[in-house]
């Protein structure tokens, strides 16, 4: 009596299922380790103020000149300058530095420009290199204004 050699197919099928299960387990582990940060912890409250924000954006777009934003990488300095039409008015607001890739780097500074023309200069030394969003919200003459701009901070040498 002769025995026929065993077929490798059952072992190959079992090995395929084991490798597939290991791959799925690895992918689940990677998904659980990935940090998922919300853009903002109070996003619902921010959504409720959407209409007021849109009115502020429209009012800002209606200014005779745009709000100036200049970044000098060599001096590591950011300059914000208001249009001349807002000069002579008391201006108060906040400047929010928002880092899309890491919410722990976000911070807020007061915005109170001075001089003629009304401008404020800030050091960018504490900003990590990369993409930042600047959100400037200020009040001048009982009117609210809002500016949202992107800033790419260069690595210091």
Q: Is the pLDDT of residue 17 over 90?
A: yes
Judge whether 127 and 97 are in contact, CB under 8 Å.
yes
Q: Report CA torsion sign: 116, 118, 123, 128.
A: negative
CATH number of 43-153: 2.60.40.3080
State the average pLDDT for the chain: 87
**pLDDT, tens digit, 9 for 90 and up, residues 24-38:** 999 999 999 987 766
Alpha carbon distance 80, 121 (integer Å):
6
**In the chain, domain spans:** 7-34, 43-153
**pLDDT, tens digit, 9 for 90 and up, residues 82-101:** 888 887 788 889 999 999 88
Q: How far is CA 105 from CA 3, 18, 101, 113, 131, in A?
A: 71, 43, 9, 24, 12
**pLDDT, tens digit, 9 for 90 and up, residues 130-153:** 999 999 999 988 899 999 999 998
Average pLDDT over residues 44-56: 82
Q: Which of 137, 141, 133, 111 is nearest to 55 (CA)?
A: 137
pLDDT given at position 50: 84
Q: What is the pTM of this model?
A: 0.65
């Amino acid at each position: 009596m002769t025995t026929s050699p065993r077929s490798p197919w059952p072992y190959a099928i079992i090995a395929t299922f084991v490798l597939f299960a290991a791959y799925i387990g690895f992918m689940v582990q990677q998904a659980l380790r990935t940090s998922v940060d919300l853009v903002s912890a109070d996003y619902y409250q921010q959504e409720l103020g959407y209409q007021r924000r849109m009115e502020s954006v429209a009012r800002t777009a209606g200014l005779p000149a745009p709000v100036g934003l200049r970044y000098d990488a060599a001096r590591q300095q950011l300059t914000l300058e208001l249009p001349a039409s807002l000069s002579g008015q008391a201006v108060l607001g906040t400047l929010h530095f928002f880092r899309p890739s890491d919410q722990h780097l976000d911070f807020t500074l007061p915005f109170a420009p001075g001089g003629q023309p009304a401008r404020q200069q800030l050091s960018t030394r504490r900003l990590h290199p990369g993409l930042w969003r600047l959100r400037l919200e200020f009040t001048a003459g009982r009117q609210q204004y809002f500016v949202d701009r992107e800033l790419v901070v260069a690595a210091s040498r």
